[in-house]
Amino acid sequence: ILNILPPHIYFIFIFIVKSQLHRNCSTVIRPADLNITNNDTWCDWKPFDQDNYQTLFGVLDNCFLVAYAIGMFISGIFGERLPLRYYLSVGMLMSGLFTALFGLGFYWNIHSLGYYAFIQVMNGLMQTTGWPAVVACVGNWFGKGKRGFIMGVWNSHTSVGNILGSLIAGVFVSTAWGMSFIVPGLIIASTGILCFFFLVEKPEDVNCSPPQHHVSYIRNMICLKLSITRLLDLTPVCLYFHDVLYPTQGVVEFSLCLLFAKLVSYTFLYWLPLYISNIAHFDAKQAGDMSTLFDAGGIVGGIMAGLVSDYTGGRATTCFIMLVAAAPMLFVYNSIGQRSLATTIGMLLLCGGLVNGPYALITTAVSADLGTHESLRGNSRALSTVTAIIDGTGSIGAALGPLLAGLISPTGWNNVFYMLISADVLACLFLFRLVYKEAQGWCGRARG
């Protein structure tokens, strides 16, 4: 958990700090010793003191998310060829550096949008080292039998990270928002050092028996051993991606499903506090605290998804059923979810579980299953690349969701929820072939 939790909380920092970069200055006590000529924007942080501040915030958000999505496809290739302990440690150290540099802009009195945009891009690229590496490490230690439940529990760190991010950033945001980045940056770098000295990549490194990933072996894939000198040769790279995508018969479907599932999840992550504040009329702090219930529901949903999929053997079916149930629940939450405090709490927990459960299952147990598929036994380190392909595709949805919500929200929140429900339905459709295949397998075993 230490390997990925600190980088993940970075997603929350910018959301919390936005309220300090552009504030309602009329409600803030103005220091008497300041020579202020503009009473409306004196307490804002340039360049976010202009009327287009929401657009500028959108630029920062998408700099991070787009860089993360693009970098994820590259990260898996390097993560497969480099020692995971070194790769992950360097990535965390660099993530800590760029996180702290964003906060140092406060103390260095930097008001350049280009500076903060560059930091966001670099942070997005550096943090792509995390997810493929840690999923590969955990996948190396646990076999397929109980992998769903174990990874469901392990994946709760993402929701815990969201909650911790809100708490850490909130401690400093009102006094010196720079510390909301510097302190977490130091935490990330420190855990990177811990990884370097204590992370064990696979059981064989400490004379333990490797887990049983498969029951039988159908065939071995030709392993393309790309050296650094051949890395720029497009032919083996294209053949390599073909070998990863084709034999497993599921990477493409789960990747596209995750694109739309992550679109829904990250739209909630970015916009839920504002929605609660506008619709339920909570103040900003109450709305932020209330939004953490969505992540709390995600913890339970991820664990339940892993447990059920282990018992049934149907990863795709488990995701499909949860996504089918999520669509009407999103509609109900928008319709009646703000009528009372109890209703709000209950609907947030339920929606969080149904939306984040499939997302958690696909990015952990499903990625590990596909990355250790029998057709990839010729390349035991393919898990990092498979994870990067799936999560990289999903990250495209993470970038599109908040952007679409920002464009649609002026027309009304109902339209935002219609967009989310449509994305949820599309996520279901991409799993239909795999669900049918799993159902055929169950029927065959029943007849046998």
Each residue's pLDDT tens digit, 8-49: 555 555 666 766 777 666 666 666 555 555 566 667 788 888
Answer yes or no: is pLDDT of 203 > 50: yes
Answer yes or no: is pLDDT of 280 > 90: no
Answer yes or no: is pLDDT of 219 > 80: no
Q: Are 258 and 400 in contact (CB under 8 A)?
A: no
Question: What's the average model confidence in pLDDT over 63-81?
Answer: 82
Question: CA 171, 175, 180, 182 torsion: positive or negative?
Answer: negative
- pLDDT tens track for 359-377: 888 888 787 777 665 555 5
Q: 170 vs 319, which has greater pLDDT? A: 319
Q: Are 64 and 116 in contact (CB under 8 A)?
A: no
Confidence of residue 256 (pLDDT cuts 50, 70, 90): very high
Q: DSSP secondary-structure letter at 82?
A: S
* Phi, psi (rounded to 5 degrees) for 360: -65, -40
Q: 421 vs 143, which has greater pLDDT? A: 421
Query: Given phi > 0 = left and psi -120 to 50 = alpha, else beta, which region is 207?
Result: left
Poorest-confidence range of 37-46, 57-66, 121-130, 240-249? 240-249
Q: Are 80 and 65 in contact (CB under 8 A)?
A: no
How far apart, in whole angstroms, are the C-alpha atoms of residue 160 and residue 155?
9
Question: What's the average model confidence in pLDDT over 266-284?
Answer: 79
Output the pLDDT for position 291.
81
Q: What b/e string do you get for 71-86 counting C-beta neighbours within 10 Å, with b at 16 or more? A: bbbebbbbbbbbebbe
Question: What one-character-per-residue DSSP string does 12-33 give?
Answer: HHHHHHHHHHS--GGGSPPPTT
Q: Are 347 and 293 in contact (CB under 8 A)?
A: no
Q: 120 vs 372, which has greater pLDDT? A: 120
Answer yes or no: is pLDDT of 227 > 50: no
Pick from 350, 370, 367, 348: nearest CA to 359: 367
Question: CA 148, 149, 153, 156 torsion: positive or negative?
Answer: positive
Highest mean pLDDT among 58-62, 227-231, 245-249, 394-398: 394-398
Confidence of residue 116 (pLDDT cuts 50, 70, 90): very high
Question: CA 7, 78, 69, 133 torsion: positive or negative?
Answer: negative
Q: Are 380 and 371 in contact (CB under 8 A)?
A: no
Question: CA triplet 366, 154, 436: central angle to 5 degrees?
Answer: 20
Answer yes or no: is pLDDT of 2 > 70: no
Question: What's the average model confidence in pLDDT over 152-156?
Answer: 81
Output the pLDDT for position 366.
83
CATH top class, domain 5-21+46-202+234-438: mainly alpha
CA contacts within 13 A on the Cβ side of 47: 13
Poorest-confidence range of 96-105, 110-119, 171-180, 322-331? 171-180
Output the pLDDT for position 7.
47
Chain centre distance of CA 216: 33
Question: What's the average model confidence in pLDDT over 63-91?
Answer: 84
How far apart, in whole angstroms, are the C-alpha atoms of residue 395 and residue 440?
31
Q: 335 vs 156, which has greater pLDDT? A: 335
CA contacts within 13 A on the Cβ side of 50: 9
Output the pLDDT for position 245.
45
Q: Are 177 and 44 in contact (CB under 8 A)?
A: no
- Residue 424 makes CB contacts below 8 A (sequence gap 6+) with 260, 261, 264, 323, 326, 327, 330, 355
Output the pLDDT for position 108.
93
Pick from 401, 447, 399, 392: nearest CA to 426: 401
Q: Are 373 and 238 in contact (CB under 8 A)?
A: no
- Residue 246 makes CB contacts below 8 A (sequence gap 6+) with none
CA distances from 382 to 135, 161, 378 (A): 11, 27, 9
CA contacts within 13 A on the Cβ side of 362: 36
Output the pLDDT for position 373.
59
- Output the six-digit token pair for 362: 């696909």
% of the chain beyond a pLDDT of 70? 77
Output the pLDDT for position 230.
36
How far apart, in whole angstroms, are the C-alpha atoms of residue 6 and residue 10?
7
Q: Are 30 and 87 in contact (CB under 8 A)?
A: no
Q: Are 197 and 43 in contact (CB under 8 A)?
A: no
How far apart, in whole angstroms, are the C-alpha atoms of residue 117 and residue 36?
28
Q: Are 223 and 379 in contact (CB under 8 A)?
A: yes
